[in-house]
């Protein structure tokens, strides 16, 4: 049966204006607007976050992000604990890539205590390997996940299966699947198990195959193209104005990547060029992430090929139960899968930190940026826009 | 960076210059000049990327330390502008007009530390703790343990260990626990 509404485009000029000012001038009693909540338990919404929407018909005229559903006071808890006790707490500040927190808190404590130069070479390569593996498992969920917001569920199932294989490698390397506690002050907890590289190579070959299949599934799909192209555009002018980082910035041509701009560990010894786009819409951002998936697989292969076979993995450190760090402060950053991820760390000469403050990319992307990008969007696209910014609520409310 | 600091020192009374790394420097400026300095750095010195805004509670000095951390994408350097404000009736000039995300930080600082930023959008709205009636939760004098003991009921059948003492017993079972160490654990 032919759908008589196929190709129907409403004449929006006949509707009341959808460009109401962002403020308190939206009068719900006028019956021109309606208020609805998306989340905190909406399946399309990343994690436990809610968006309060004011809509006119299907068009969003105002949006407010609400966080706090996951607040566990991590920063406060870390301030009340010994330096080493901060580790199991810190990794929970971002579930998507917990290893980034391990690296930040380890590097902050090493820099402030003067042990940063003592970290062995082998440990730096292993740290880099675990960070890239974390990026890979995040992308395996994130790239097809964008398709999932437009009802392409199949890619998500492929991605989650392959992510589980990477979690298997994490389990081999660290003993844990999600929260690894592998990067510790002074180095890492263990060497690669026997046969690890071969098993990882097997997984990477499966992922190579997935990369081709997901390209056909998503980027050759007319529904995905039609809905993602031209949606939620980020322009280069917006990047500094909103503090946009990572693939959200690179998607509109602003090439910023901490691994290149301020190389840490041994990233300067790897051959890679961060992919960029030009359009800045959801389609381009997803395309950039798809290319980053290829690059991450390549980086893992490069790391495994270039890392030494043997070596110390941990520097001689003070007894962590009696460890006092001199008064000081630092800021350490890295390039997570979602962009610049940093930590401001202040010590006061005691056995506990004075202040720990995480700078997660979602703090900007999911509040100031998301609220502005949603204005004028269709209700059906709200969760797609949110996912396209790679929001991670735990890093907002720490 | 040294040249920049020399330039800023005269105009903005910059003091306490500390560089933990060559590409990262922290400076301190009086409260009245902080927003002017941040604006100058953004408009004339290329520090266009606002990294974060943070606060440290120096309760023993009766001061809050505010930090505006900026990044220059051209020179790949970071500059942290610090300023100290009184803990009592803490108030600071808003910087929400400089970058779009600043109001979010100020809203959080109002809730978490009780610092007011008059004129900042939605500064009085709840951020992460809805309906909070206690003192701002990130202040040093807010005791999380005491709060949870007073607020939540104990769960029968569950043993609670002090994390530091528990780890010490587990890792060094033969090492006696002195009174001093127990004090440190608290």
Q: What is the pLDDT of residue B174?
A: 86
The residues that bridge with A318 in the sheet, in sequence order, are: none
> How many whole angstroms separate alpha carbon B61 and alpha carbon A370?
39
Look at residue A329 and tell me if it is in a domain: yes
Rounded to whole angstroms, how far apart are CA atoms A3 and A19? 31
Give the number of domains in chain A: 2
State the pLDDT confidence band at A22, using cuts at 50, 70 and 90: very low
Same domain, A249 and A310: yes
Domain segments of chain B: what residues?
2-152, 157-186
| Residues of chain A with C-beta less than 8 angstroms from the C-beta of B105 | 363
CA of A59 to nearest chain B CA: how many angstroms apart?
A: 23
In a domain, A372, yes or no: no
Parallel/antiparallel/unpaired status of strands A353-359 and B15-21: unpaired
Contacts 24+ apart (CB under 8 A), A372-375: A372/A242, A372/B100, A373/A232, A373/A234, A374/A51, A374/A53, A374/A60, A374/A63, A375/A22, A375/A60, A375/A61, A375/A62, A375/A63
Q: End-to-end distance of chain B based on CA atoms, in angstroms?
A: 42
pLDDT given for residue B53 in this prediction:
96
φ/ψ (deg, to 5) at A90 = -65, -35
Distance CA A99, CA A182 (A): 8
CA distance B50 to chain A (A): 6
Taking an 8 Å cut-off on Cβ atoms, the answer to whether B130 and A81 are in contact is: no
pLDDT band at A10 (very low <50, low <70, confident <90, very high): low
Cross-chain Cβ contact A363/B171 below 8 Å: no
Q: Which two three-digit tokens encode residue A234?
A: 């980020």
| C-alpha A314 chain-centroid distance | 28
Contact B128 A340 (CB under 8 A): no
> How big is the CA angle at B136 (ends A80 and B116), to the nearest 5 degrees?
130
Q: Tell whether B127 lies on the interface with A, counting CB pairs under 8 A.
A: yes
A32 is in which domain, residue-wise?
12-66
CA distance A303 to B12: 46
Query: B49 vs A243: CB contact, 8 Å cut-off?
Result: yes
Per-residue pLDDT band at A182 (split at 50, 70, 90): very high
Residue A374: predicted pLDDT: 92
> What is the pairing mode between strands B77-86 and B63-72?
antiparallel
CB A124 within 8 A of CB A291: no
Is A16 in a helix, a strand, or coil? coil
Residues of A with CB under 8 A from a CB of B: 67-68, 71, 73, 75-77, 80-82, 85, 111-112, 240-243, 256, 261-262, 321, 328-331, 333, 340, 342, 344, 346, 351, 354-355, 357, 359, 363-364, 367-369, 372, 397
Q: Are residues A46 and A158 in the same domain?
A: no
φ/ψ (deg, to 5) at B2: -60, -40
Residue B182 pLDDT: 56
SS3 A353: strand
Distance from CA of A82 to the nearest CA of B (A): 7
CB contact under 8 A, A329 and B49: no
Helices (H), A149-264: 153-174, 196-214, 222-228, 236-242, 246-250, 258-261
CB-nearest to A330 from B20, B50, B137 is B20
A81 shares a domain with A60: no
pLDDT for the residue A1: 43
Contacts of A161 (CB under 8 A, 6+ apart): none
Nearest by CB: B67 against A256, A344, A397 = A344
**Together in a domain, A208 and A316:** yes
pTM: 0.88
Alpha-carbon distances of B32 from A119, B45, B104, rounded to whole Å = 42, 20, 22
Give the confidence band of A223 by pLDDT, cuts at 50, 70, 90. very high
In this structure, are A105 and A186 located in the same domain?
Answer: yes
Angle at A383 between CA A228 and CA A22, to 5 degrees: 100
> What CA–CA distance (Å, rounded) separates A164 from A17?
48
pLDDT, tens only, A140-180 = 999 999 998 888 889 999 999 999 999 999 999 999 998 99
Please name the residue of chain B whose CA is at the shortest distance from the CA of residue A355: B56
Residue A343: pLDDT over 70: yes
Tokens found for residue B112: 């978490």
A58 and A94 within one domain:
no
Same domain, A156 and A202: yes
The answer for B 58-87 residues in CB contact with A (under 8 A) is 67, 69, 73, 76, 78, 80
Q: B26, B103, B128: best mutation site toward chain A, by most A Cβ within 10 Å? A: B128
Between A82, A243, A330, which is nearest B164 by CB? A82
Residue A296: per-residue pLDDT: 96
Give the phi and the psi of residue B48 in degrees, each rounded to 5: -85, -20
Q: What pLDDT sits at residue A271? A: 94
Q: Kindly report the CA angle at A349 between A344 and A355, in degrees rounded to 5?
A: 25
Specify if A338 maps to a domain.
Answer: yes
Indicate if A216 and A271 belong to the same structural domain: yes
B119 in contact with chain A, both atoms CB, cutoff 8 A: no
Summarize pLDDT for A277-314 with one digit per residue, the tens: 999 999 999 999 999 999 999 999 999 999 998 889 99
What residues pair up with B70 in beta bridges, in sequence order?
A: B50, B79
Neighbours of A251 (CB within 10 A): 27
Residue A54 in contact with residue A63, Cβ under 8 Å?
Answer: yes
Q: What is the DSSP letter of A24?
A: S
Residues A86 and A147: their CA atoms lie apart, in Å, by 36
Give the phi and the psi of residue A64 in degrees, each rounded to 5: -135, 130
Q: Is the pLDDT of residue A31 over 90?
A: no
Give per-residue burial for A51-60: e unless 16+ CB within 10 Å, then b.
bebbbbbebb
- Going across the sheet that includes A59-66, the strands are A34-38, A50-56, A59-66
Does residue A118 sit in the same domain as residue A57? no
**Residues contacting residue A201 through CB under 8 Å, at least 6 positions apart:** A301, A304
Chain B closest-CA separation from residue A154 CA (Å): 35
Judgement on whether residues A90 and A139 belong to the same structural domain of the protein: yes
Residues A188 and A280 in one domain: yes
Q: How many CB atoms lie within 10 A of CB B105?
A: 27
* Cβ atoms B57, B138 nearer than 8 A: yes
For residue A347, give the nearest of A359, A357, A336, A337 by alpha carbon. Answer: A357
DSSP class of residue A366?
I
A21, pLDDT greater than 90? no
Examine the domain organization and report whether A136 and A160 are in the same domain: yes
Q: What is the maximal distance between C-alpha atoms in chain B?
A: 64
Query: Which contiguous run of DSSP H or E holds residue A78?
Result: helix A74-79
Q: What is d(CA A298, CA A304) in angstroms, rounded to the nearest whole number?
A: 10
In angstroms, the CA A360 to CA A130 distance is 19
Nearest CA in chain B to A237: B48
* Structure-token pair, residue A184: 């510790």
Q: Please, what is the average pLDDT of chain A?
A: 89
Q: What is the pLDDT of residue A16?
A: 46
Strand-pair partners of B82: B28, B67
Does residue A371 fall inside a structural domain? no
Average pLDDT for runs of 10 along chain B of length 186:
84 88 93 93 94 95 96 94 94 92 94 93 88 90 87 76 85 76 55
Residue A22's H or E segment, with its range, is none
B176 touches chain A (CB under 8 A): no
Distance CA A233, CA A368 (A): 15
User: Looking at chain B, which residue has its C-alpha nearest residue A241?
Assistant: B99
Given a cut of 60, is residue A45 above it in pLDDT?
no
Nearest to A376 by CA among A2, A12, A4: A12
Size of interface A-B (CB pairs under 8 A): 106
Q: Percent of chain A beyond pLDDT 90? A: 68
Token pair for B39: 């604006």
Summarised one tens digit per residue, pLDDT across range A355-386 is 999 999 999 999 999 999 999 899 999 989 99
The tokens for A129 are 């390997």
pLDDT at B181: 57
Check residue A25 and give its pLDDT: 67
- Report the range out of A28-42, A45-59, B30-44 with the highest average pLDDT: B30-44
Name the CATH superfamily, with its identifier, for domain B2-152: NADH:ubiquinone oxidoreductase Nqo5 subunit (3.30.460.80)
């Amino acid at each position: 049966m032919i759908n008589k509404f196929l190709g129907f485009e409403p004449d929006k000029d006949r509707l009341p204006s959808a460009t109401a000012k962002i403020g308190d001038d939206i009068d719900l009693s006028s019956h021109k607007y309606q208020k609805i909540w998306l989340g905190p338990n909406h399946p399309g919404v990343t994690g436990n976050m809610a968006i309060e929407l004011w809509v006119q018909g299907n068009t969003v005229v105002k949006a407010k992000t609400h966080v706090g559903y996951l607040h566990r006071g991590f920063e406060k808890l870390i301030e009340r604990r010994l330096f080493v006790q901060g580790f199991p707490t810190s990794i929970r500040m971002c579930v998507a890539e917990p290893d980034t927190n391990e690296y930040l808190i380890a590097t902050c404590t090493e820099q402030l205590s003067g042990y940063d130069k003592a970290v062995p070479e082998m440990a730096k390569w292993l740290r880099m390997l675990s960070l890239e593996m974390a990026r890979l498992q995040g992308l395996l969920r994130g790239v097809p996940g964008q398709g999932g917001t437009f009802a392409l569920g199949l890619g998500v199932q492929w991605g989650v299966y392959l992510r589980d294989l990477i979690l298997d490698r994490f389990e081999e390397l660290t003993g844990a699947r999600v929260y690894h506690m592998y990067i510790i002050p002074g180095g890492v907890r263990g060497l690669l198990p026997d046969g690890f590289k071969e098993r990882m190579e097997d997984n990477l070959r499966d992922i190579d195959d997935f990369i081709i299949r997901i390209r056909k599934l998503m980027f050759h799909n007319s529904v995905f193209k039609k809905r993602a192209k031209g949606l939620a555009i980020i322009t280069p002018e917006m990047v500094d104005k909103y503090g946009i980082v990572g693939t959200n910035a690179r998607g509109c041509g602003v090439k910023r990547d901490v691994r290149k701009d301020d190389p840490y560990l041994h990233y300067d010894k790897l051959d890679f060029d961060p992919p960029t786009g030009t359009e800045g819409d959801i389609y381009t951002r997803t395309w950039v992430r798809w290319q980053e998936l290829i690059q991450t697989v390549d980086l893992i292969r490069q790391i495994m090929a270039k890392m030494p076979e043997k070596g110390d993995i941990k520097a001689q450190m003070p007894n962590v139960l009696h460890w006092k760090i001199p008064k000081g402060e630092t800021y350490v950053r890295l390039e997570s899968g979602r962009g610049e991820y940093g930590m401001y760390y202040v010590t006061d000469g005691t056995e506990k930190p004075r202040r720990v403050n995480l700078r997660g990319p979602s703090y900007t992307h999911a509040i100031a940026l998301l609220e502005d990008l949603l204005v004028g969007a269709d209700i059906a696209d709200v969760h797609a826009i949110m996912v396209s910014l790679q929001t991670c609520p735990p890093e907002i409310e720490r | 960076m040294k040249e920049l600091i020399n330039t800023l020192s005269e105009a903005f009374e910059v003091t306490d210059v500390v560089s933990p790394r060559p590409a990262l420097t922290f400076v301190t400026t009086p409260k009245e000049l902080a927003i002017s300095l941040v604006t100058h750095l953004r408009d004339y010195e290329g520090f266009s990327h606002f990294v974060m805004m943070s606060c440290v509670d120096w309760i023993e000095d009766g001061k809050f330390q505010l930090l505006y951390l900026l990044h220059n994408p051209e020179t790949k350097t970071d500059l942290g502008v610090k300023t100290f404000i009184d803990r009592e009736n803490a108030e600071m000039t808003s910087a929400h007009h400089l970058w779009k995300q600043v109001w979010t930080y100020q809203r959080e600082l109002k809730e978490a530390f009780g610092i007011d930023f008059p004129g900042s959008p939605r500064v009085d709205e709840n951020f992460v703790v809805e309906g909070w009636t206690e003192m701002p939760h990130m202040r040093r004098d807010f005791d999380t343990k005491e709060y949870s003991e007073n607020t939540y009921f104990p769960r029968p059948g569950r043993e609670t260990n002090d994390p530091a003492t528990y780890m010490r017993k587990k890792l060094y079972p033969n090492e006696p626990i002195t009174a001093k160490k127990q004090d440190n654990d608290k």
